[in-house]
Amino acid sequence: IRRCTGEMVEKSKSGLGFYIKGTRLFWNDLMFCLSLVGRAIGGYTLKPREVRTLRRTIKDLITFIPFIIILIIPLSPIGHVMVFGAIQRFFPDFFPSCFSEQRQNLLQLYETTEFSAVTIDESFKEKFVRVFSAFLFFWSSLFTRLYAKIGGTARKEIKTSTDLDTETDQ
């Protein structure tokens, strides 16, 4: 009994995690599509990939409401499996794409890759060199701008004084 209960708890946790991740993915899709619509209204021409994303998200939005209603209806676990199995067999595009294993696996691969790209092993010496280089770059760019500003005003003063000299000569 304890083993069966443990398995049921684990499956419930993984199922709940799947739906939470799908909802988060759906929310991110909606926000991205709103930004695409805003850019399109502003005069930006959407690329074919962006148009496909927009269409997919609109389809997901349309199918999300009935999907949630069926999910919330109090059926037995076997009833949910049978209903979702029948829907998936006869209407394969009924499920929002963010609740498909393919999209969630891609998200997981992306998150894993993103995390591994961020964690870089550096020694103390490498970190010091990187920070020192940034420090030198900051100060050199600051002095360059200051010199340009001072040199620009000095050139303006020289130019205006030479213009005045040529006007008085005439």
Q: What is the DSSP letter of 99?
A: G
Both tokens of 164, joined, read: 């005045």
In tens, the pLDDT along 99-133 reads: 777 777 777 777 776 555 555 566 777 777 877 88
pTM: 0.53
The b-or-e profile of 158-167 (16+ CB within 10 A means b, else e) is: eeeeeeeeee
92 vs 167: CA distance, rounded Å: 85
The CA–CA distances, whole Å, from 53 to 90, 95, 125, 156, 165 equal 24, 16, 45, 54, 67
Average of pLDDT values for 85-97?
76
Is the model's pLDDT at 91 over the cut of 60? yes
Is the model's pLDDT at 136 over the cut of 80? yes
Is the model's pLDDT at 29 over the cut of 80? yes
pLDDT given for residue 68 in this prediction: 79
Amino acid at position 169, single letter: D
pLDDT given for residue 41 in this prediction: 92
The runs of H, that is alpha helices, within the chain are 2-41, 48-72, 77-90, 101-118, 124-169
Highest mean pLDDT among 21-30, 71-80, 136-145: 21-30
Quote the longest CA-to-CA distance of the chain.
Answer: 109
pLDDT given for residue 144 in this prediction: 83
pLDDT given for residue 79 in this prediction: 72
Q: What is the DSSP letter of 41?
A: H
Phi, then psi, of 94 in degrees rounded to 5: -70, -35
135 vs 16: CA distance, rounded Å: 48
Highest mean pLDDT among 39-48, 79-88, 145-154: 39-48
